[in-house]
Amino acid sequence: MERKAVRWMGDSRKRLREFPEAVRFEIGQAIYQAELGERHPSARSMQGLNAVEIVSDYRGDTYRGVYTTRLKGFIYVLHCSQKKSKAGIKTPKRDLDLLRTRLAEAELHFRTMIEREE
């Protein structure tokens, strides 16, 4: 199987680089496994989005990385964030809106790349 290319949307790469090393490693490993067509044990589908979420806990804090594999041959990393919500595990509306926007941008990027190849 051919390895998928990774595209970083918005500031997702910058934010990931700011995470603790252990968190960067876990989310990075999950993205690498997705590149190979595999699924990391921490990966879970996000309801309502065609995206995968990696949740990494570190010293009492929770970090998230979200990517999609729905665009053939690519992994689009949509968002990386530190969970700050005090209302349980639910993803905040602000983050969901950002994910939807970045998913639409990823789809546009993908279509533009396909059109250039034709």
| Integer Cα distance of 10 and 104 in angstroms | 12
Task: Say what the pLDDT of residue 108 is.
Answer: 94
Task: Say what the pLDDT of residue 93 is.
Answer: 85
> Please, which residues bridge with residue 76 across strands?
7, 68
Considering Cα of 97, then 113, then 31, then 20, what sign does the dihedral take? negative
Task: Say what the pLDDT of residue 117 is.
Answer: 75
Q: In CATH, what is the architecture of 5-117?
A: 2-Layer Sandwich (3.30)
**Whole-model pTM?**
0.90
Order of all β-strands in the sheet with 43-45: 5-8, 74-82, 61-68, 52-58, 43-45
Question: In the chain, which stretches have pLDDT less than 70?
Answer: 1, 85-89, 118
The position carrying tokens 């279509």 is 111
Domains of the chain by residue range:
5-117
Q: Which residues contact 6 (CB under 8 A, 6 or more apart)?
A: 31, 35, 74, 75, 76, 77
- pLDDT tens digit string along 26-36? 999 999 999 99
